[in-house]
A and B are shown apart, each in its own frame.
Chain A
């Protein structure tokens, strides 16, 4: 196995992530998957939107496009259509992909274009200072929901299955080995693969909701995953913290996997 550092732009360090943020663990799992698959480093393009998770694209030594807020799947669609030889990977966050970029995400899934989307869900807008996201559980505190969130949250995987994604999985940042395996499967999948990674944001979500720092959040996450998984985007989360009796939560693992025609652009109609 190669040292995953060979996939990093070490010259770009130190990175912008806060101490304790799980996004780095997620990136390591992804790079391990890339290494296991022995993908050609020159043929990987990482396309990102805006947010903490999207900043990961700056630190990997691939062709990297740090686009605009929510639009990464649309940039990736153009790139993949122009360059079918590339492994195109979108790295995005929950606000990026599910709020401002929701339209692009569901249409990329519907087309079944052969890209892989890693959605790092930390249940909040981290980079802008802890505002509520479409994934913030009901009742949770964010800077724009000081008395507790009163909106229901998205189940990203259900949304993507509904939109037509042909590979849908949910993994936890607390389980790096699982992440690597599922990411490798997603990269190998012909067609649109969507992997929701339950990550964390100790800096804002953790602090505002008094659920501890990075280590506590990961521990909590893995406890919830034992038998009765209940990651952070479970709306019952807040009501049960710090309860030791976790409620049944969101399903993890590969939730949907089918083979259907992959989109590669409009077909020929003959000369006009």
Chain B
């Protein structure tokens, strides 16, 4: 891990910036040097900031012909050795699914930001939503692991974007940053750190003539040299052997998919991040993420003022789902109240993790309006009544 400090990005001083801007600053601080994207509300500001900053620091910006091409260009650039990203929103995210799967299968590090808006289809382009949580997990075909991070404030967008790049490099995987229109467009005063810790993908030490690109060390993630740096190797989305060459061998294919999962699942401690608040003596826990996590925090404080013992569990990592952490909370509280801006996506995962050890209630809505602290306070009062 190396510390980087970029003079082009003002850090360590208070600045009033949008979530989409914080994303750009985090990406550049983490070492991102390539952006390929296609315009879509409410993520376009990311491209508009990238195009102004990247060329000054030796980076490359390209506006591609669609979102499919955007992520393809990102994968191509990443194989060329540049840390790369794209950003989009719902409909564009749907188009990117093909290459999220490709990047997962070929283990090409990349970051995809999805600033969620109301769906389905064109939906509510300027309204917030959390409707893409399952798409982020399962949108591409086939069994694949994925890392999805959900910041809940402008400042956290910065940190999560840095983390997304670090995890992408560390585990050679696509990482998705998922936030919504409110976080993307809200301006907040933030003080960003003067330096950040940065991880770069592992490089091989083999003789180029003996290099097999898909031989993984025990921790599961093979090194990845850049195209053009002396290692000649094949990259394919077909099931492949340790030499990187296509195969129909069932055992080889199974071993590959198993390793893709293992390299993530064996390192949950590095990946899973969960924020908790006032849970120690809580009877009720609110489970909320992203922008709803902030409303929930406020609602918790107000409910505490009213004498209700309620706390918050706010996953920053949505996938892999923090089942252990949720189960631990379930063993201590009577009720878990899941609030999300969709008609029920993570609540099913919560129920599975809770496994009957607490009552699970849901406050679910998908009308393009935010979930307010006042609404959640009412839900907490209701949950308290049900509990007694």
Contact B64 A58 (CB under 8 A): no
Task: Flag A154-179 by CB within 8 Å of B: 1 or 0 each.
Answer: 00000000000000000000000000
Chain A, Cβ-Cβ closest to B36: A78
Q: Which of A12, A67, A71, A86 contacts B80 (CB 8 A)?
A: A86
In the bound complex, CA of A73 to CA of B130 (Å): 33
Given A42-B232, A83-B80, A74-B72 contact (CB < 8 Å)? yes
A269–B52 contact, CB under 8 A? yes
Question: Which residues of A are found within 8 Å of B53, using beta-carbon distances?
Answer: 272
- Interfacial chain B residues near A42, Cβ < 8 Å: 228-230, 232
A153 to B5, CA, bound (A): 55
- Taking a contact as CB atoms under 8 Å apart, the answer to whether A78 and B232 are in contact is no
Q: Which of B115-123, B235-243, B326-334 forms contacts with chain A?
A: B235-243
Q: Given A67-B102, A83-B226, are A58 and B246 also a contact pair (CB < 8 Å)?
A: yes
- Complex CA distance for A103 and B79, rounded to whole angstroms: 23
- Total A residues in contact with B, Cβ cutoff 8 Å: 42
Contacts of B228 in A (CB 8 A): 42-43, 45, 63, 83, 85-86
Asked if B363 is an interface residue, CB under 8 A from chain A, the answer is no
Q: Are B60 and A12 in contact (CB under 8 A)?
A: no
Cβ contacts under 8 Å, A83 to chain B: 80-81, 226-228
**Closest B residue by C-beta to A264:** B60
For residue B61, CB closer than 8 A to chain A, the reply is: yes
- Contact for B74 among A58, A63, A78, A272, CB less than 8 A: A78
Say yes or no: is A75 at the interface (Cβ < 8 Å to chain B).
Answer: yes
Smallest beta-carbon distance A31→chain B, Å: 14
Whether B150 sits at the interface, judged by CB under 8 Å, is no
Find chain B residues with CB under 8 A from A265 CB. 55, 60-62
* Nearest neighbor of B237 in chain A, beta-carbon distance: A68
Q: Which A residues lie within 8 Å of B227 (CB)?
A: 45, 63, 65, 79, 83, 86
Structural contact, A78 and B52, CB atoms closer than 8 A: no
User: A residues within 8 A CB of B36?
Assistant: 77-78
Q: Find the B residue at minimum CB distance from A107.
A: B65
Asked whether A77 lies within 8 Å of B64 as measured between CB atoms, the reply is yes
Encoded as 1 (CB less than 8 Å from any B CB) or 0, chain A from 249 to 272 comes to: 000000000000000011111111
B65 near A76 with CB under 8 A, answer no
Contacts from B to A (Cβ < 8 Å): 8, 33-34, 36, 49, 51-56, 60-66, 68-70, 72-82, 84, 98-99, 102, 226-238, 243, 245-246
Q: List 16 A-B contacts (CB under 8 A).
A: A42-B230, A58-B236, A58-B246, A63-B227, A63-B232, A64-B234, A67-B237, A68-B237, A71-B69, A75-B72, A75-B75, A78-B73, A79-B77, A82-B33, A266-B61, A268-B55
**Apart from A267-B55, A269-B52, A272-B53, what 19 extra A-B contacts exist at CB < 8 Å?**
A42-B229, A43-B228, A45-B228, A67-B102, A74-B64, A77-B64, A78-B62, A78-B76, A78-B78, A79-B227, A81-B77, A82-B80, A83-B227, A86-B227, A86-B228, A104-B69, A104-B72, A265-B60, A266-B62
